[in-house]
Structure 1
Amino acid sequence: MASWAGISPGSYESAGQRTSTRTVKGKPHIKSAMCEAAWAVSRCQNRWLAIKYSQVASRRGNKKVLVAMSHRCLESFTPC
Structure 2
Amino acid sequence: MTTIGFIRHGITEWNVLGKAQGISDIPLNNIGKRQALALGNRLKVSEYWDFIISSDLSRAVETAKIIGDILHLPIHSDMRIREIH
TM-score by length of 1: 0.33
Q: Which has the larger helix fraction? A: 1
Q: What TM-score do you get using the length of structure 2 for normalisation?
A: 0.31
